[in-house]
Amino acid sequence: MSLQNQPSNSSFNDIYYAGFLKLLLTYNQNRIIPETFRLDKSRIVTFYNEWQDITILSCLLLIFRQACSSKCSSENVLNIKQRLYVLLTSQSTSLKHINLEITNMAGQIRKKEYSTKEIDLISGLIEKTLSPDNKLYIMIQTRISTYIVHYLNNEILPKELMYRHNMTEMEPEILTLSKKMKSVVELNLQTYSEYYKAIFLELKQQKTNSLIKTLNNVKNENTTLTKNQNQSSNENKTSINLSSSLTDESKMKMQISNNPNIVEQNISNNNQNNSHDSKSNSQI
């Protein structure tokens, strides 16, 4: 059970349930089952398949709502849901059959048949949406996991949230799956709770140590940065003083260069002073 992407105040049960659902989602990719769930392998496969079926059907109902525009009622959704469920459980069903069922019923509801161009557009939307990498597919899959976790914690689905998500018509399927999962995870948790809690505390300590290390690194970086800034400031002051001295000397050289009479006058004055000193010495 990983603490990754979990809030710091998450309870043990929240993380356990999140880890279990992640196990279901990733099983089809890596086929890895923890030792504590080895006896539940067949159930995990069943849960995974049912979760995907619910996600696919939810995506199709969402597309159907959009195709019907604002004229779609809950009764219409339940009707097409039953029809699509029959198609999805048949091995001979293709996306073309699903597309025709959606466009035919949506055309009846809006009282205007779909054109060939519109049917092709809906077909492309269905094919794109049902891809596991599609953002809409992932969003609906994530929402379903939220409902399941809520049930595992409270033994009731978040009906208000499901209503806001237009997922009310899928409540029976989600409730059935949630009940099946709860039976498995509760028995597993009762059997291996001490083992899981030890892992939980160890991972939590690792996360705390990692956070402390990060804070210390940031503190050291700030100290080094401040030291470098002070050193740079002192160097700038020294450079400014040196530049000022050089500027005064340069100004003097410029004055001498621009007015050579100053040099001659200074030399003459020096000679006169020397002559005067010589006479004084002679008189003495």
φ/ψ (deg, to 5) at 82? -65, -40
Residue 245 has a pLDDT of 56
Give the pLDDT mean for 256-278: 51
Instruction: Flag whether pLDDT at 215 surpasses 80.
Output: no
Both tokens assigned to 49: 């398949």
Maximum average pLDDT range among 17-21, 196-200, 277-281 = 17-21
User: From CA 234, how far away is CA 157, in angstroms rounded?
Assistant: 66
Flag whether pLDDT at 67 surpasses 50.
yes
Per-residue pLDDT averaged across 51-60, rounded? 96
Between 161 and 11, residue with greater pLDDT: 161
Over residues 202-214, the pLDDT tens digits come to 887 887 777 777 7
pLDDT tens for each residue of 169-184: 999 999 999 999 999 9
Pick 35 or 218 by higher pLDDT.
35
pLDDT of residue 254: 55
Nearest to 58 by CA among 119, 123, 138: 138
Quick one: CA torsion of 70, 76, 78, 84, rounded to 10 degrees? -100
Q: What is the pLDDT of residue 54?
A: 96
Residue 177: what pLDDT? 97
- Does 5 score more than 50 pLDDT? no
Residue 16 maps to a domain: yes
CA-wise closest residue to 19 among 4, 43, 1:
1
What pLDDT shows up at residue 231?
A: 75
Interatomic CA distance for residues 77 and 100, integer angstroms = 16
Q: Is 147 within the bounds of a domain?
A: yes
Supply the pLDDT for residue 61.
Answer: 96
Percent of the chain whose pLDDT exceeds 70:
77
Global confidence as pTM: 0.69
Confidence (pLDDT) at 185: 94
| Per-residue model confidence as pLDDT tens digits over 104-118 | 999 999 888 899 999
Q: Which phi and psi angles does 112 have, rounded to 5°?
A: -160, 120
pLDDT of residue 248: 54
* Structural domain total, the chain: 1
**113 assigned to some structural domain:** yes
Give which of 100, 98, 97, 110 is closest to 66, Cα–Cα. 110
95 falls within a domain: yes
In a domain, 230, yes or no: no
Name the more confident of 163 and 237.
163
Residue 44, in any domain of the structure: yes
Give the model's pLDDT for residue 225. Answer: 75
Within-domain flag for 72: yes
SS (H, E, C) the chain: CCCCCCCCCCCHHHHHHHHHHHHHHHHHHHCCCCHHHHHHHHHHHHHHHHHHHHHHHHHHHHHHHHHHHHHCCHHHHHHHHHHHHHHHCCCCCCHHHHHHHHHHHHHHHHCCCCCHHHHHHHHHHHHHHCCCCCHHHHHHHHHHHHHHHHHHHHCCCCHHHHHHCCCHHHHHHHHHHHHHHHHHHHHHHHHHHHHHHHHHHHHHHHHHHHHHHHHHHHHHHHHHHHHHHHHHHHHHHHHHHHHHHHHHHHHHHHHHHHCHHHHHHHHHHHHHHHHHHHHHHHHC
197-223 average pLDDT score? 77
Q: What is the pLDDT of residue 246?
A: 52
For residue 243 the two structure tokens come to: 């530049």
Q: Closest by alpha carbon to 67, among 34, 107, 35? A: 107
Residue 265 lies in a domain: no
Contact 36, 53 (CB under 8 A): no
Identify the pLDDT of residue 226.
73
The pLDDT value recorded for residue 263 is 46
What would the mean pLDDT of 9-20 be, rounded to a whole number?
A: 80
Q: Which of 66, 69, 61 is nearest to 169 (CA)?
A: 61
Domain that includes residue 87, residue range: 12-193
The distance from CA 113 to its chain's CA centroid, rounded to whole angstroms, is 42
